[in-house]
Amino acid sequence: MSRQYIIRRLLIAIPSLLGISLVLFTILALAPGDPFEELATNPAVPPEVRAALRAKFGLDDPVWARYLHWITAMLQGDWGFSFVSRMDVDTLILQRLPVTLIVIGSSQIIAILVALPVGVLAATRPYSLFDQVANTFAFIGFSLPTFFTGLLFILVFSIQLDWLPFVYRADIDATGWQFYWEHIKQAIMPVMVLGLFQGASLVRYVRSSVLDVIKLDYVTTARSKGIGERKVITKHVVRNALIPVVTLVALQMPIVFGGAIVTEQIFRVPGIGSLLISAMLANDTPVVMAVTFVFACLVVLFNLIADILYGWLDPRIAFR
Amino acid sequence: MAEPLLDIQGLKTWFKTDDGLVRAVDGVDLRIDRGETVGVVGESGCGKTVTARSVLKLIDMPPGRFEAGRILWQGRDLIPLDDAEMNKIRSREIAIIFQEPMTSLNPVYSVGEQIAEVIELHQNLSRKQALVGAADMLKLVNIPNPERRVHDYPHQFSGGMRQRVMIAMALSCQPKLLIADEPTTALDVTIQAQILELMQEMKERFGMAIMLITHAMGVVAETAQRVVVMYAGKVVEEAPVGALFGDPRHPYTQGLIRSIPRVDRSAGQQARLESIPGTVPSLLDPPPGCRFAARCKYAMEICTQAIPPLKEVAPGHRVACVL
């Protein structure tokens, strides 16, 4: 793995991020809605004040001028100011980002931890009882949208059984282990809902990928060595089968973020997904712009990680 | 006579498919003595490969199944053995190389690792010692710069070189029998000769027996001492190589030999290359009687009624034909 390769990949990411920001900005500029609409209906604010505010924030400038203004400010670390929360956008995002990353990160880990063994086991015993059961659950899992399973979980675990809280709180007034335990408890349901949804489709991909690899010639070669079936699978099959799965996980990252937005709404998780939704409802353009841009950066980052993993799994891929 | 190294008796390997039962190997007898090269020839789909893989029990079960027969390895039947017992025989006593060197090596591990894996397992060596052993094996099969090449990946080798790697891997534990399943079919002609020469050289060095599966009669003529001709899952003729080419008895064998292209005859003498008319019968529902009857120019009434048994026509020369 060469450091040069990673640096070059990061450099390539710059123009694509610029392009993404341009598209985002244009679309938001074209969208109806105005942060000062509320003031327009407020009789206490005279129209001259509104016009002065608009001029001050440059809202009447042409789109390209506003974009240039935004991007230069952004590059200098000034992410803008939220019209609604009256806070700097970057502090707002930094408050919310860790929660989202923890929820998405752990749900992805759970998805992979469930999908890998289940998919591999199912593929090594195709059409067995285990395979049938795993397939059935996988189908159920990815057929049910997260907003449905989320509500179902709340109904069962919060309301019927009263085991888990259904509102995610950021202000837990406990210390030490109690604090962490409360955090884990409230994260369980959103993480499970997202993780199982992801895991269900991953099971199908892992299974078919392993089935593809398991009948290849080199697997027969490995069997003829006498190293035992378990080692044949773990050493010779799984590593090769993982290559397409890595691509898939990376490609699904935008979908995962989309799903996280919905899930955050259901469980009232104070992450950047719910920040995005409330900002959109309030026409808080700087926040919408910044959050979508952060999402874009994360997607680009995960694709880079996937490419690096790729090269580690498959020596045929040269880092040039 | 000494106990044969490998003695396959009445082996039937059948496959259950959606269309019915495929009798890929349907009562094969095959004997290999120590240090002997036995050629197994026949058309594609005649059961050569399934016979070879049955010996190492590399058949997927299901859909495959040993319907009948015994595979005696130095007097011990392999069929009832479990996987753990088989793993002590695989590579250590019987090794196999395959037709497609391009796909027979795992693309994500270096060739050294793949050879060392076998050495480490069967000779109880450390990974480091095993890698040294792997380099030695690469040197033995004439791969230049073995110490450096040992760290290279399969995609950095050509087809012929990969087959050399496969041979190195197969021989790394000095097996008593090497099964070569069409080792040269996927290679171009000059490389074919090199690989056959290498196998011959290795055989002289290690004194192992070789079961050489091929559909090229020329390859058999050059390397084997004894030849077994298979047709539609059965052995139709078995003879020492000289007798088979000098006095082929079964019409199928005669057809195979006539279909070898010859350059020593001018175009006028033999206008066209001969072929055997017709195709191999379906192994799903084989016809009663001799399976070659439909394509045989000598076929008689009796041929379609009962399967002719193998009978000895000369010492060591057995034919399954009524003629």
Q: Is A221 on the interface with B (CB under 8 A)?
A: yes
Of B83, B91, B108, which has the smallest distance from its Cβ to A239's Cβ?
B108
Single-letter code of the amino acid located at A176? G
Which residue on chain B is closest to A243 by alpha carbon? B108
The per-type count for chain B, helices as H runs and strands as E runs, is: 10, 12
CA distance B56 to chain A (A): 7
* Structure confidence at residue A36 (pLDDT): 64
Strand B234-240 to B76-77 pairing = unpaired
Single-letter code of the amino acid located at B286? P
Q: Do A217 and B106 touch (CB under 8 A)?
A: no
DSSP notation for B267-288: TTT--S-----S-PPPSSSPPS
Chain B environment of A230 (Cβ under 8 Å): none
Measured CA to CA, the distance from residue B238 to residue B311 in angstroms comes to: 10
ipTM of the complex: 0.84
Residues 59-98 of B with CB under 8 A from A: 83-84, 86-92, 95-96, 98
CA distance B148 to chain A (A): 16
**Running along chain B, 323 residues long, what does each successive block of 10 average in pLDDT?**
82 86 86 90 85 88 83 87 87 89 89 90 86 89 88 89 89 89 84 87 88 87 89 88 86 84 63 74 78 81 80 84 78
Single-letter code of the amino acid located at A26? T
- According to DSSP H, which parts of B28-184 are helical? 48-55, 83-89, 111-123, 127-140, 146-149, 159-171
Q: Do A217 and B96 touch (CB under 8 A)?
A: no
| CB distance B230 to B51 below 8 Å | yes
Chain A environment of B104 (Cβ under 8 Å): 217-218, 220-221
Local confidence pLDDT in tens for the 320 residues of chain A: 567 777 887 888 888 888 888 888 888 877 776 666 666 666 777 777 777 777 776 777 777 888 888 888 888 877 777 777 778 888 888 888 888 888 888 998 999 999 999 999 998 888 889 999 999 999 998 888 888 888 888 888 888 887 877 777 767 677 778 778 877 888 888 888 888 888 998 999 999 999 999 888 899 889 888 888 888 888 889 999 988 888 888 888 888 888 888 888 888 888 888 888 888 888 777 888 888 888 888 888 888 888 888 878 888 876 55
Q: Is A178 on the interface with B (CB under 8 A)?
A: no
Predicted structure pTM score: 0.80
pLDDT digits (tens, 9 = 90+) for B111-137: 999 999 888 888 888 888 888 889 988
Of A217, A224, A227, which has the smallest distance from its Cβ to B103's Cβ?
A217
Which residue on chain B is closest to A236 by alpha carbon? B106
Q: What is the 3-state secondary structure (H, E, C) of chain A?
A: CCHHHHHHHHHHHHHHHHHHHHHHHHHHHHCCCCCCHHHHHCCCCCHHHHHHHHHHCCCCCCHHHHHHHHHHHHHCCCCCECCCCCCEHHHHHHHHHHHHHHHHHHHHHHHHHHHHHHHHHHHHCCCCHHHHHHHHHHHHHHHCCHHHHHHHHHHHHHHHCCCCCCCCCCCCCCCHHHHHHHHHHHHHHHHHHHHHHHHHHHHHHHHHHHHHHHCCHHHHHHHHCCCCHHHHHHHHHHHHHHHHHHHHHHHCHHHHHHHHHHHHHHHCCCCHHHHHHHHHHCCCHHHHHHHHHHHHHHHHHHHHHHHHHHHHHCCCCCCC
Q: Do A240 and B87 touch (CB under 8 A)?
A: no
CA distance A29 to chain B (A): 49
Give all strands of the β-sheet with B177-181 in edge-to-edge order: B94-97, B177-181, B209-214, B37-41, B226-231, B234-240, B317-319, B311-314
Q: Is A92 on the interface with B (CB under 8 A)?
A: no
Strand B317-319 to B234-240 pairing = antiparallel
Phi, psi at A58, each rounded to 5°: 70, 25
